[in-house]
Structure 1
Amino acid sequence: MEEDQFSYMPSYWEIIRGVYDGYVETQRQWGNPPLSTAPGVFWRCLLKFGAFDPVDILYIVVLAVMWTMIRYLLTWTVLTPFARWVQMTSLNQKKFPESAWKALFYSCTWLYSCYVLLWCGEFDYFQRPLAIWQDWAPGMEVPTLVYIMYMVQLSFYLHSVYGTLFMDHKRKDTLVMLFHHFLTMSLIGFSYACRYHKIGTLVLFTHDITDIALEITKCNVYMKNRGGKYYALHEYISQAGFTCFAVGWALFRLYWYPLKCLYSAGYASVMYNPSMKLPFHFFFNSMLWILMVLNIYWFMFIVNFLYKVATGQMNEVDDVREEEVEEQVMQKMKSKQNNVKAGGDFKNNDLSPRRRSARTQGRKDD
């Protein structure tokens, strides 16, 4: 293959066709799909090709605990006091620390991935994604810069499972978020163990940037109404942030991710290395495509928001994922108010037991 063709950008149809051809070629090489229905085949393949040092697991667990402690510390000492100081609503005071923490973390990790892939000059994974399989070997050495990225990301998503269950504000896609965290940990962990770290860095690079725009937008949504006043500046910032979020999602997750990651992992990894048997090829590509389906699923929330703005159902930026949960809260509050009101009416009703007893006593006295 010619040198300049390693940076070839396929069409969406070529991606689907190429991934199918890669799957057929993998079947021909292995005799069966790499992920066999027999569990023993999977684990034998993992023991043969996987390389995960116990010290790596120690680093991940220690870092996950550290992220949790840092988040608690920032929430108690900085983020929650700030939300109270600017007089956010009680509900937004609970949601603001979560978004501020994620915006800070994703900003740091994405800037670091930019340094690794674009600025340091050591790696050309993004520019030539089809060439990243040329030197693959089981147990190959992972560059230090990439190793740091993997340990940080794995530990953060391990922390995120705990955060989603016990620290985050509950939303109607909470279960989907948990599934996403476990999928991401599996994808990152297996890609590291089987030394698919080059494609893994591209997946992280194409996903973290949209989370930055989302969390910054949400922070400004929470700051619009403070102390009984409405601040239009935060509405303008949230609109600009949502625009960046939607454009970034379409560019990075729905364009560059399939063209640079799915095509490289599904087609180039097999067709440009016919003599190389890549372990877990079907398994990894399945997880990558599940991640693509989730990207499309969450993009529907963006489309839903745009539809509501276009039809006049919504005139400001808000998180539509929280509607269901907040509606349930409002229904509970209304239910309590109705119960209190009904109780008061019952007490004032002429047929209440107390008045009925008094009326009966009066009749006896007569």
Structure 2
Amino acid sequence: MDVLVAALNFPPSAVNTAQAPSWLPRQLVPFVTLSVPTAPPVKPDSFPDSSYYGAGLLDFCLMITFIAVMAVLRDATRLLLAEPFARWKLTRNLRAHKLAKLAAAKTNGKANGTPEKANGHGAQNGNGNGYNASSPDTVTPAERKKLRHAVTRFSEQGWPVVYYAIQVPFGMYVHANLPTSMLNPVDVWANYPHFPLAGPVKFYYLLQTAFYIHQVLILNAEARRKDHWQMMSHHVITIALMVGSYFYNYTRVGCLIMLLMDICDIFLPSAKMLKYLGMRTLCDVMFITFMVSWFITRHVLFNIVIKVTWEVWYIVPRIWDPSRGHYLTKEIYLGFFTMLCTLQVIQLVWFGMICRVAYLVVSGKGAEDTRSDDEE
């Protein structure tokens, strides 16, 4: 780590030994603490009681830790919580469904005067081998395959629900403590550059970037969905925006965009989980909630952010002066603005698919995710 610090031209103080356990080797400190501690601003306009930090390549060490922890938590959520619960619930639903069918068949048989056939060992099938596919306690190969698919899909959606349930409130906390407004986002550019970073802002940024990198790894590890390349493009552009805005001190607009992107993302995996459990009505309600939140955050508020970013051309002077934290040139500005517009185009394509699902709900066919649920 000392060699890395020297190679990257960081002072020894970039390693945050003050907030690390005394027994931890210095080489591992950047993997468990926020690096590059620095003096706070004279008059901070946010998080006045927080520690403050600079930005540096050592921050990728902590992101590696975040990605490793997320991988462990995802597998723990999937294998220890989601899969056992889904298997129990779906097996219970299947048995209840078979019992209801048998009861209905028995009632119809009595109504028609048809005598019941039975033997001492249960009803025989056409082969006379005692196997009864309609028995409540028997799972056919087709049912087992369908059950396994539903359990797998249910468990895959568990980790996003857990992550966003924690991260969205944290993002709201960060946003609430910044002097910015969601409805008047021009504030995110006021007094640029915003440097150094308060501890919660830096932690939020690194955690979110690590999450999207982790999602790219998952996207390429699982079976490919119909919108694989749209998802890949979306994640790669998002990571580029996050890393670039982090090092170029555009963090306040970045915090706002990340919050807007996250708010609706908790509802779609929740709707999918309800669908895999067979809870169609709740699934449809959750999907409609997702659709409304998506439209508001990603096509109303997000477009306001794009409009404000366009106005930055006339507000913030285009200066390249790293010594003062200024990283805004014509080329950088156009690059960021183009990526924001590209994200909006991808989201509009997805919204068209979402509207198709909404039509299915209204027409009584139920929510089926045409965006990403089926494999190719």
TM class by shorter chain equals 0.5 to 0.7
Pair 1:264-2:308 in alignment: yes
Partner of 2:273: 219
Give 1:26-175 correspondences, 5 Å limit: 52-87=55-90, 89-118=147-176, 121-137=177-193, 140-166=195-221, 168-175=222-229
Contact conserved, 2:358 with 2:367, CA < 8 A, in 1?
no
Contact conserved, 1:270 with 1:276, CA < 8 A, in 2?
no
Give the structure-1-normalised TM-score: 0.66
Change in Cα spacing, 1:122 to 1:283, as seen in structure 2 (3 Å) is: closer
Q: What letter matches 1:255 in structure 2? A: V
Q: What letter matches 1:201 in structure 2? A: C
Whole-angstrom CA distance in 1 between matches of 2:181 and 2:371: 34
1:140-185 per-residue CA deviation (whole Å, 9 max, x = no partner) reads 212222111101101111111111111x453101222122111111
Change in Cα spacing, 1:53 to 1:273, as seen in structure 2 (3 Å) is: closer
Q: What letter matches 2:215 in structure 1? A: S
Contact conserved, 2:360 with 2:367, CA < 8 A, in 1?
no
Whole-angstrom CA distance in 1 between matches of 2:88 and 2:357: 30
Extract structure 1 runs of 4+ deviating beyond 4 A: 274-277
Question: Residue 320 of structure 1: SS of its match in structure 2?
Answer: coil
Partner of 2:35: none
Contact conserved, 2:264 with 2:290, CA < 8 A, in 1?
yes
Whole-angstrom CA distance in 2 between matches of 1:220 and 1:169: 21
Change in Cα spacing, 1:323 to 1:110, as seen in structure 2 (3 Å) is: closer
Aligned-residue Cα RMSD (Å) equals 2.0
Count, aligned residues: 259
Give the structure-2-normalised TM-score: 0.65
Change in Cα spacing, 1:216 to 1:285, as seen in structure 2 (3 Å) is: same
Whole-angstrom CA distance in 2 between matches of 1:274 and 1:216: 44
Q: CA deviation at 1:241?
A: 0.5
Contact conserved, 1:63 with 1:152, CA < 8 A, in 2?
yes
Q: CA deviation at 1:109?
A: 1.2
Partner of 2:339: 287
Question: Residue 368 of structure 2: SS of its match in structure 1?
Answer: coil
State percent identity of aligned pairs. 24
Contact conserved, 1:206 with 1:257, CA < 8 A, in 2?
yes
Which consecutive unaligned segments of at least 5 residues does structure 2 have? 1-53, 92-146, 321-327
Which consecutive unaligned segments of at least 5 residues does structure 1 have? 1-50, 225-233, 329-366
Give 1:241-280 correspondences, 5 Å limit: 241-259=286-304, 261-267=305-311, 269-274=312-317, 276=319, 278-279=328-329, 280=332
Whole-angstrom CA distance in 1 between matches of 2:302 and 2:227: 23
1:47-68 per-residue CA deviation (whole Å, 9 max, x = no partner) reads xxxx841221111111111101
Q: What letter matches 2:79 in structure 1? A: W
Partner of 1:198: 252
Change in Cα spacing, 1:218 to 1:257, as seen in structure 2 (3 Å) is: same
Q: What letter matches 1:265 in structure 2? A: T
Q: CA deviation at 1:125?
A: 4.1
Q: Indicate the structure whose relative CO is greater, using CA pairs within 8 Å and at least 6 residues apart.
A: 1
Partner of 1:354: none
Change in Cα spacing, 1:218 to 1:145, as seen in structure 2 (3 Å) is: same
Partner of 1:22: none
Change in Cα spacing, 1:322 to 1:140, as seen in structure 2 (3 Å) is: closer
